[in-house]
Structure 1
Amino acid sequence: MHLIDLKAYLSELAENNNRAWFVMNKPRYDILRAEFVQLVTSLITEIARFDPAIAGCDPKKALFRINRDMRFSQDKSPYKTTFSSSIVPNGRKKPSEGGGPAYYFQLDGNGRLFFACGEYMPPSDRLKAIRTHILNDSAGFQSVLADKKLKREFGTLQEEGKLQRPPKGFDASHALIEYIKLKNFMVWTEIQIDGWDSAQVQSTLINAFQSAQPLVQWLRAA
């Protein structure tokens, strides 16, 4: 994938986020999207080596649309300024659609690569299942948190949107109650990739995703 071209395109899109500009530059978008599909296809092949469940993921279903959902947003910009993908076994992106834990990454016009693993804002029934799984498999959960490769690559679970009080039905004195309060069960990081090529991006993502595989597997068991 030509990362320089992608960075330039997304940077220009951020400055000209309107339908007229997008239509005029549609040939550029089509080429870059096709290259992005190739990158995601290669990632799926490599991830499947350590996580066979991913082998059936359809790369085109794993891509997010460039169009923004503006129905409930004050920002009426019609297009996203990232290329992003969420890789899950069946290609669906939302836990409510059966997606479950995902390998996610995105590229933007500032030359940043953001990547994450786990579940972001799962629906209430799924969230309860994960919290209950912490109670039922506390040792397994703590083993995931202590994994050296995961900690080196990502640190610990992100605490964005954490509850102030324990969720209903969960003991406030439980040793893992601070994790049970989480609304997201994911790890993430962001790096600058100026001067990189697609092979470096792919290698970085594969190493990171393999490090997070214990978390993905634990969440699937919930």
Structure 2
Amino acid sequence: MSLQDRIDAFKADFEAGKPPYNAPSHIHEPMHRATRELIESGAASRALKVGDKAPAFTLKDPEGKEVSSGDLLAHGPLVVSFYRGVWCPYCNMELQALQEALPDLEGLGARLVAISPQAAPNSRKSVRENKLTFPILSDPRNEVAQAFGIRFKLPDYLIDLYANVFKNDLPGFNGDPSWTLPMPARYVIGQDGVIAYAEVNPDYTKRPDPSQLLPALRSLRERQTA
């Protein structure tokens, strides 16, 4: 089953209010509205694209160790996945799919990192619950996400839903009062720092299969050996 098939099955059960989710029906309209408004804003079109230079970054892993994009790129291409947090089931399914694809990515010489605004304890939980062997890096205040052009602020009505219905305290979860998130995104960055693959979707329920990363990585390898 593809990643999107798994997501679609989860979404159908969630929106139907089936156990164990038992989601109240009134939550779905504002969630759909927020996604629709983010799509219509054109925010995704302003994110970095193929051919753009990727911003360099240095972020901490869940154990507090600094990880730099420059060091990673010294060893080969870099795959970066931006995700919202361990509280998001769609993000967890994506992380699990990336873990499954990791041998294929590494077989083409790539390193993989995930980037999230969540604080280190939540990243440790994400690593543990999703059984990840690649690093999750904390992006305080979504500054790296902003550099890639994918940070956005939640509308007030969605903040109210997150805080009062889901009891999802993003300011506490992320250590940041801004109520901002990254749009889910994946990038492949060549060793020259140029973006070779970019996928940004303002609809967090749409996630491409990790296999779509492979052609860009193969192309980078072919250029390197030519």
The TM-score with structure 2 as length reference comes to 0.25
Which one has the largest radius of gyration? 1
